[in-house]
Structure 1
Amino acid sequence: MSIETLSIGDPFFTLRILKEEAAYQIKGKTIVLNLSDDPIRVREQTLGELQSAVLQGTEVRDVSHAVIVERYADHADGELLMAEIRKAWPSAFEVRGEERLRGIEHYMSPKVWVGQFGFTLYHSASVPLNVGLHKDHAFCPVPGFREVHTQIIGFGKMQQCRKRDIETLYLEEPMAPGTTHRPMYDADGNYPWHQFETITPSVFMAVEMLPEGATPPEL
């Protein structure tokens, strides 16, 4: 049994990793994302692998592995919150250097790896975001890389395309606080062309999952 608090959301949000917890009491509004293939029990219902929900005033049981986001609903002024985030976090282009991110109002927290799982928060400030379609994750040369995104603040949409052209869009999932899009990778970790697009200024969490044999990039 363990509960590990991550600092990447400070001072705006509190993130915790739960492992092998028979029961955990949820108090204020909290986003819960199941990172295990074992279901999490919520009263008479369950959260399956990589499914998430907003919970409040209830107990989750049989938690093999999950990440939770607390205090996301405690901010009375969303515009002020995101203005403070922009002061605290660098742009994604500064950190990652990807040409598609140049000049884009897209900001990111520090990234932390806990075992094979990487956690990062992103703030997308403009509407539209125009972050650019992509499908490769070159830092993970081992087949089987997985990634999902969970909406925390605001509204967005995850888009999948047949080609590197938004006109070839074939699947779009709305993203609201507490939503995690369905996995889009195949068994070998191959992705379609995809992007996150804003409906409103947003904050979301990216969870990267490395296959066995892959090493977190900064190690």
Structure 2
Amino acid sequence: MQTTIAKPQTNVVEPVYFADKYVKALWLKNADNYYLENRTIVVNLGEEKAYVAVAPEKYLWPRTSTILQEISIKSGDSLLLIEIVESKNIGGVVLDSKWRQLGELMDFPKDVPLWKSPQYDVGIVAFDPYFATGLTDRPHSKRIQKHQVKVNLWFSPAQTDAAIHNKHTARDFLEVHTQLYGSGRMQKFHSNNFDTLYEDVLMNPGNSHLPFASVDESGGFIYPWHQYYADTDCIWMANEFHPID
């Protein structure tokens, strides 16, 4: 008797509730010619390249993003689709009942106007950390590791220094940011001092930066001193990839 292997369901969509009045977000799994009508920031959170139905061929590498409209996503295993649906008084995003100023959530300066949305799990992906951080040009099968993907939004008003740091948690994760609204910068420093700035990575809507992390001798992620700086009122998304033992 021949066994039939069921094909995975395509174009599976789940809403991600950040702040519906201002930001509409959908998690799209197993895209198959999924049509985007409105201007949409597309973030590839999956393991595979995501292909756009256009010639010549266009694709998104994992952990990268772009802005698309009036076109279909030909394929992609895990994508976040984000629309800014209202920009008037967009700072009101922080008034959503589930948003919090970071100083309310942890030991963080309460005079820094940095707000955080709820965080959501959006799948598990496997990759080689050395390849993902640019330490090697090719992934190695023996280094492939599973990671839980988590996403949340941040908001800061113009001219906010969001605090220099080089650690996130006791066991660090791979982090990439995607700009959703406004213009800002990801900045690197030689030390925990604003006067030691050595690199500005400009962030505009639809941009995701290359990972800042490197990998230490134990295989964990390590970071330079860095921060986000908001040139204008800004909303950006943190895409976190947490190692799974």
- Pick from 9, 17, 42 the counterpart of residue 32 of structure 1: 42
- Asked if structure 1 preserves the Cα contact closer than 8 Å seen for 2:151 and 2:238, the reply is yes
CA contact (8 A) 1:117 1:207 kept: yes
| Structure label with greater radius of gyration | 2
Which runs of no fewer than 5 residues in structure 2 stay unpaired?
1-9, 124-147
Secondary structure in 2 matching 1:86: helix
Tell me the residue number matched to 1:51. 64
Q: Gapped runs of 5+ residues in structure 1?
A: 214-219
Contact map agreement 2:45 2:149 (CA 8 A) in 1: no
> 1:115-140 CA deviation, whole Å, 9 max, x = no partner?
41111111102x3212211111225x
In the other structure, the counterpart of 2:23 is 13
SS of residue in 2 equivalent to 1:177: coil
1:171 aligns with 2:180: no
SS in 2 for 1:134: coil
Q: 1:136 aligns with which of 167, 176, 198?
A: 167
Name the structure with the higher strand share. 2
TM-score for the superposition, normalised by structure 2? 0.77
The answer (yes or no) to whether the contact 1:14–1:69 under 8 Å persists in 2 is yes
Q: Given that residues 8 and 112 in structure 1 are in contact (C-alpha distance below 8 angstroms), is that contact kept between their aligned partners in structure 2?
A: no
Number of residue pairs the alignment of both structures matches:
202
Return the offset for 1:167. Answer: 2.2
Sequence identity, in percent?
Answer: 28
Q: Could you list the per-position Cα deviations for residues 147-173 of structure 1 after superposition, in whole angstroms to 9, with x for gaps in the alignment?
A: 111111111000011211222222211
TM-score normalised according to structure 1 size = 0.86
Q: How does 1:112-151 map to 2 (within 5 A)?
A: 112-115=120-123, 116-125=148-157, 127-139=158-170, 141=171, 145-151=173-179
Deviates further, 165-174 or 196-205: 165-174
- Give 1:216's aligned residue: none
Question: Match of 1:54, as an amino acid?
Answer: I
Cα drift, residue 76 of structure 1: 5.1
Letter in 2 for 1:98: D
Aligned residue for 1:85, secondary structure, equals helix
CA contact (8 A) 1:23 1:63 kept: no
List per-residue Cα deviations over 1:26-45 (Å, max 9, x = no partner). Answer: 11010001112421112221
How far is 1:114 from its partner? 2.9
RMSD, matched Cα: 1.6
Farther-moved stretch of structure 1 (161-170 vs 171-180): 161-170
The answer to whether structure 1 residue 75 and structure 2 residue 86 are counterparts is yes
Contact 1:157 1:172 in 2 (8 A): yes
Whole-angstrom distance in 2 between the partners of 1:119 and 1:54:
18
Label 1:76 to 1:4 Cα distance change in 2 as closer, same or farther (>3 A): closer
